[in-house]
Amino acid sequence: MAMISAGEFRNGLTFELDGSPVQVIEFQHVKPGKGAAFVRTKYKNVITGAVTETSFNPSAKFPEAYVERKEMQYLYNDEDLYYFMDMETYEQTPISATALSDNFKFVKENMVCRILSYQGKVFGVEPPNFVELQIVDTDPGFKGDTATNATKPATLETGAQIKVPLFIDNGETIRIDTRTGEYMSRA
């Protein structure tokens, strides 16, 4: 099993800490005037989602946690279970709503998501970075209203609500960055 030293930490890197897989969110190499250097690290337990901040000796070694990432197509949901299909085997996998991130609200049926698992246990679902969705409810758009940064609320076909520029109208399809939840452009 590959070992990683704290001095090699990068954002997004996963390693095992006390038997649990954790992912680096932020890290900072600190070299105080006196005393030993250390790596201040904020990490998230990928199974529980708990975020912890601690410092490591740069030479401390940890086993690499192999997180499997698999592309699967979202099919439908039935109460708290969301069904995804493996596009190679056509096998369907039910995933609990608790594994879904907040930005899953931008996913509609048949979109391909990345399923994250550790030792066979699914802990996360990453939507595509960009999606195109139709606006089902917003105040009427005004032609020529290009006031910079002026926005209004809009409801998307998935039920998610975001802020859109004033000139966007009902029925329009827009492009959204699912990582920030922000309007990008008309589709």
Q: What would the pLDDT profile of 49-84 be if each residue is shown by its tens digit?
A: 889 999 999 999 999 998 898 999 999 999 999 999
Report the C-alpha gap between 157 and 97 in whole angstroms: 19
User: What percentage of residues in the chain have a pLDDT greater than 90?
Assistant: 68
pLDDT averaged over the chain? Answer: 91
Q: So what's the pLDDT on residue 67? A: 85
Which of 88-92, 117-121, 179-183 is least confident? Answer: 117-121
What are the residue ranges spanned by the domains of the chain?
A: 3-63, 67-126, 130-186
pTM for the structure as a whole: 0.74
pLDDT higher than 60, residue 145: no
Q: Are 110 and 134 in contact (CB under 8 A)?
A: no
Report the C-alpha gap between 71 and 68 in whole angstroms: 10
pLDDT higher than 70, residue 144: no
Same fold for the pair 67-126 and 130-186: yes
Report the C-alpha gap between 133 and 140 in whole angstroms: 18
CATH number assigned to the domain with residue range 130-186, chosen from the 4 options 3.80.10.10, 2.40.50.140, 3.40.50.300, 2.60.120.10: 2.40.50.140
The neighbour count for residue 97, using CB atoms within 10 Å, is 12
Topology annotation, domain 67-126: OB fold (Dihydrolipoamide Acetyltransferase, E2P) (2.40.50)
Q: What would the pLDDT profile of 92-143 be if each residue is shown by its tens digit?
A: 999 999 888 889 999 999 999 999 888 888 888 999 999 999 999 999 877 6
pLDDT higher than 70, residue 10: yes
Alpha carbon of 23 to those of 11, 19, 35, 81, 134: distances in Å?
Answer: 8, 13, 27, 25, 34
| Partners of 155 in the β-ladder | 137, 161
pLDDT higher than 60, residue 3: yes
CATH for 3-63 is 2.30.30.30
